Structure 1
Amino acid sequence: MNIHFFKYQGAGNDFILIDHSASPIKDIDYEWVKKICDRRFGVGGDGLMFLTSHPDYDFEMLYFNSDGRPGSMCGNGGRCIVAFAKHLGIIDKETNFLAVDGPHYAKISAEGNWVELQMIDIDTIGRDGEAYVLNTGSPHYVARMENLATYDVYHEGKAIRNNETYKKEGINVNFVEDKGDHLFVRTFERGVEDETYACGTGVTAVALSMALHKQQSGHLKTPVKVLGGDLSVEFDYNGRQFTNVFLCGPAEKVFEGELNW
Structure 2
Amino acid sequence: MRVEFIKMHGLGNDFVVLDARQAALPAIHGQIARAIADRRQGIGCDQLILLEPDADATVRMRIFNADGGEVEACGNATRAIGLLLGQPATIMTKGGLVATRPDANGIAVDMGEPRFDWDAIPLAYAMDTLSMPVGWEELEQPAAVNVGNPHVIFFVEDQATVDLARLGPAIETDALFPDRINVNVATVADRQTIHLRVWERGAGLTRACGTGACATAVAAMRRGLTGREVTVHLPGGPLMIGWGEDNRITMTGAATEAFRGSFEWDDYA
Q: Does 1:141 align with 2:152?
A: yes
Aligned length: 245
Structure 1 CA distance for aligned equivalents of residues 195 and 132 of structure 2: 21
The answer as to 2:249 corresponding to 1:245 is yes
User: TM-score normalized by structure 2?
Assistant: 0.85
Change (3 A) 1:24 1:55: farther
Give 1:89's aligned residue. none
1:184 aligned to 2:195? yes
Identity %: 29
Any unmatched runs of 5+ in structure 2?
118-128, 134-140
- Contact conserved, 1:23 with 1:53, CA < 8 A, in 2? no
Instruction: Return the match for 1:150 from 161, 177, 180.
Output: 161
Aligned counterpart, 2:99: 105
CA-based RMSD of the aligned residues comes to 1.8
Give 1:123 deviation, angstroms: 4.8
Cα distance, 1:98 vs. partner? Answer: 1.0
Equivalent of 2:232, from 208, 211, 224? 224
After TM superposition, give the deviation of residue 31 of structure 1 in Å. Answer: 0.7
- TM-score norm. by structure 1 comes to 0.88
Q: Tell me the distance in 2 between the aligned counterparts of 1:3 and 1:191.
A: 25
User: CA separation of 1:123/1:138 partners in 2, compared to 1, >3 Å: closer, same or farther?
Assistant: closer
Does the residue aligned with 1:186 lie in a helix, a strand or coil?
strand
Deviations 1:229-251 (A, max 9, x none): 111111124xxxx6231111001
Distance 1:55 1:123, change over 3 A: closer
Unaligned runs of 5+ in 1: 87-91
Deviations along 1:78-128, one digit per CA (max 9) or x if unpaired, are 111111222xxxxx2x11121111211111148xx8111111212526142
- For 2:85, the equivalent position in structure 1 comes to 85
2:107: which partner in 1? 115
Question: 1:72 matched to which residue of 2?
Answer: 72
1:63 aligns with 63
Distance 1:161 1:151 in 2: 15
CA–CA distance in structure 1, aligned partners of residues 53 and 263 of structure 2:
21
Q: 2:242 aligns with which of 218, 221, 234?
A: 234
Q: 1:172 pairs with 172, 182, 186, which one?
A: 182
- Deviation of 1:213 after TM superposition, in Å, equals 0.9
The change in CA–CA distance for 1:40 and 1:47 in structure 2 (over 3 A counts) is: same
